[in-house]
Amino acid sequence: MPAPEKTSQEAIVAAGRELVERDAIAGLTMQAVAEKVGVRAPSLYKRVRNRDELMDLVVAATIADLAQALRDVIAGIDDPRDQLKSAAGTLRAFGHGRPKSFELIFGPAREASEGTRAARDRAVAPLLSSCSALVGEQRALDAARLVTAWANGFITMELAESFQMGGDVDCSWAWGLDRIVRAL
């Protein structure tokens, strides 16, 4: 009789995501994941080829969570301006709630698998749709990049506590986002 499976790829990915959030990308090791799921490290290789594949699966799952949150927040909002503002707010909340995961998906690009590329496409779709409604299909990608780049820069600076000159950062966020959305 074959030995029972002691873990699954889903459990391994979930453990990897927890480790990334706790210890950053450097904390994502096969040994740490194995300990978290209660197996020996060699057992992981039945489910993932190596750390690179594990990293890719963690990135794809994290992006998928963000994509779902973006779809959920936009659902039921008719005005594309309000959709963009809500999506940006969701991105900001994601960054604050999961700063290491935010860094993982918005940090330096790495070779992505088909699964990660598909997750990114799903994550961008709501933003592209809102931008398309505002600026037309021809410039939707440009508009989505503008909103994403501004929001990412703001959130990254905020997480790094780079806003040291006083004032209300929430007001700065709202003001900047409003100006960008109006410009579109």
Q: Which of helix, strand or coil describes residue 117?
A: helix
Angle at CA of residue 98, ends 103 and 45, nearest 5°:
75
Residue 3 above 50 pLDDT? no
Band the pLDDT of 109: cuts 50, 70, 90: low
Residue appearing with tokens 């979930």? 14
Domain 52-183: CATH superfamily is Tetracycline Repressor, domain 2 (1.10.357.10)
Q: What is the DSSP letter of 3?
A: P
Tokens representing 35 are 């300990």
With 90 as the cut, is the pLDDT of residue 123 above it? no
So what's the pLDDT on residue 4?
46
User: For residue range 48-107, what is the model confidence (pLDDT) as tens digits?
Assistant: 989 889 998 999 899 999 999 999 999 989 999 999 999 999 999 999 999 999 988 887
Q: Which two tokens stand for residue 152?
A: 């990412």
Q: Do domains 1-48 and 52-183 have the same CATH topology?
A: no
- What is the pTM (predicted TM-score) of this model? 0.87
Name the residue with higher pLDDT: 60 or 174: 174
Q: Residue 41's pLDDT is what?
A: 85
* Termini Cα distance of the chain: 64
Where along the chain do its domains lie?
1-48, 52-183
pLDDT at residue 1 tops 50: no
Is 1.10.10.60 the CATH classification of the domain at 1-48?
Answer: yes
